[in-house]
A and B are shown apart, each in its own frame.
Chain A
Amino acid sequence: MPRPRRPAARAILLLAATLALAGCADGPARETPVTLVLKYARILGPDDPFPPLLREFEAAHPGVRVRGEALPWSSDEQHQFYVINLEGRSPGFDVMMLDVIWVPEFARAGWLLDLTPHLAADELAPFFPSTVEAATYARRIWALPWNMNVGLLYYRRDLLAKYALAPPETWDELVRQVGVIRAGERDATLDGYLFQGKQYEGMVVNVLEVFWAGGTRLLAEDGALFPEPERAAEALAFLRGLIERGVSPPWTTAADEELSRRAFGDGHAIFLRNWPYALDLFEAADSPVRGRVDIAPLPRRAGGARGAGSTGGAHLGVSRGSRHPELAVMLARFLTSERAEKRMALAALSPTRTALYDDPDLVRRRPALPRIRALMLAGRPRPVTPYYLLLSATLQPEFSAALAGVKPARRAIADGRARLDHFLGALR
């Protein structure tokens, strides 16, 4: 029976050692100096304003290092990343960039540090009211507004001027103008109206905007879904109709912000719905449409309001599991300070402090800023509820099916409502 035990024991020790090594390979950062981890959507290339800002913070706080880590690039993937991460124990980051629609959800889930005790009395006064509203849940503040977005209409100033047209006030007017201009230009590659129809959050934004333009909405004050289903179905069918009638090209169902922006920026379209960031790209030195693009509020439909673009943007939240909450809050406040926001604004990110829209340096660089501010003040947030992501994730396939013509709009709305009733019911 005796067997030489040494080789087996050695093998087991070796195995244990390698596993232990694996455990050490990803160990936490050393405690001194303190390292703060900031998660944000990094901009590849030379224009990233964040590294210098982070170095500035480090200089002001000796012994503190800030590591900026990139997030995946689509909102849905970022959300998934956060959820998978924050559901666990220590998530490994301190300050995080949050899409404005996630704040109530994350607050409710207990992942965010309550910032209310850390803030001065009217510290949030300089920010857009809608951004502060989006950061509020259960009457506490959970995040600081960082940068802002609003949906707006881009149009080709030169083309409209050529046919003596003013920016359309209604959607019917827009469709008519597209017809007039295309008939006149006789350019087969000229598209009418570009928007985002791919199956993702950006598409839901487009649909909501058309809902609001038609005087209906997704969620009523009492929490009822689709309070006016007929109007909603009609608005959704209208969007589908744009593709069917050729006002919008067939590839709209695969279009996100970038695809639509590029096509418009190459001069192939008359109208575009997008966020403010695109304007800088259109005014770049080598842009084919330089000097020929202008912005306007989104049109309305019968019974609706004009210019109800969806507000969006990012907030900065502090993770409740952060090991250095005080420092993390200081970092968040630094990044949302006037200086930092101005630096970011120079890099084409729209600030959340209203005063910066009158800043002479910024206005010189981006002359459209005051008008963008007006649009932001008129904009509407998406439903501010912890359930927003559930709503969006459930409705995305339905809206997408309607836009692609796979399902009639009315059935898409009905199916969406039925599914949401089931899933929301499971939550109660």
Chain B
Amino acid sequence: MRRAGPALADALVLLALAAYAVPFFWQLLTSLKPEAELLRLPPLLPSRLTLEHYRVVLAQSLIPQALWNSLGIAALTTLLALALGLPAAYALARLAVPGTRALLLVIVASTAFPQIATVSPLYLLLRALALRDTWTGLVLVHASFALPLTIWLLAGFIREIPIETDEAAAVDGAGWLAAVRWVLLPLLAPGLASAALLTFLFSWNEFLFAYTFTASEASRTIPVALALFPGVYEVPWGDIAAASMLASLPPVLIVVGLQRFLVSGLLAGAVKD
């Protein structure tokens, strides 16, 4: 009886968490339910599964284009944030830059800037630069928003690597940049992965800026496309459910497949005080 106890508790916890995720699974089920059965409950389970909603969404709606936009913008945002953030993190963590603490404080403070405050000036700025409804505009805004957290994360990860490692590489005759490239970066790889995943996820999920700065299929991202899902008077619940599932694909893949990096990134960002 005692040995069965813990296993039972484990199973119960898993069951409870599965119940917690029911909203997600219900949406998944809805996306596979035939149109006629959507609004008639009970029965909860459909008589048969159908891919009709996915067909409509992929063939007739603007979701595929939005998925492509989101993918491109999130990828470019991640690249840009890392390209800018890694050198900055290295400088702050390793080099004796004057005012490091003040800089870090400013950088962290800027993460608290509410989007609703900066959205109107950014709107005017992007309009002046003719960057509205472009990938570039949104990538720049997203990257600048993700930058502080990226720097914070990477600086923390870099600090974890003992300075002796760099110095050992330098002693071996390698230059500073070679030491970074061949010694530091491989050690930093998990941290880079975490930062990259968090940035990608942020950009994929971001709504307020995307809603304001995109206007057409040229740059509309998936959260915006989902929020504006068209229908003349009717609300196509099944199609919306299918679109929701498609929009959740990368996040789900990251959570299930790359969980380790995601978790370490989240924790490092918070726990390292």
Contacts and interface: CB of A to CB of B under 8 A. Distances in A.
Contact of B232 (A25, A73, A87): A73
Contact of A25 (B72, B181, B229, B239): B72
Contacts of A277: 233
B72 A77 contact: no
A7 B134 CA distance: 29
Contacts of A45: 56
Contact of B233 (A23, A88, A258): A258
Interface in A1-20: 3-4, 7-8, 11, 15, 18-19
Q: Bin the interface of chain A by size.
A: 35 or more
B8 interface: no
Interface stretch (A64-72, A296-304, A361-369): A64-72
Interface string B56-91: 100011100000000010001001100100000000
A85 interface: yes
Contacts of A43: 232
A89 B128 CA distance: 9
A3 B180 CA distance: 12
Interface in B87-142: 123, 127, 130, 132-136, 139
27 contacts: A3-B177, A4-B178, A15-B83, A18-B80, A19-B80, A19-B139, A22-B72, A22-B76, A22-B136, A23-B135, A25-B135, A26-B134, A26-B135, A26-B218, A41-B232, A42-B230, A42-B232, A44-B60, A44-B61, A73-B233, A81-B228, A85-B132, A85-B133, A89-B130, A92-B218, A261-B233, A277-B233
B217 A7 contact: no
A137 interface: no
B230 A4 contact: no
Shortest Cβ-Cβ A-B pairs, 7 listed: A72-B228, A85-B215, A22-B135, A26-B218, A70-B230, A88-B132, A258-B233
Contact of A26 (B56, B219, B228, B233): B219
Nearest to B140: A19
Contact of A91 (B80, B176, B215, B230): B215
Nearest to B216: A92
A406 interface: no
A4 B232 CA distance: 61
Nearest to B214: A84
Contacts of A7: 177, 181
Nearest to A43: B232
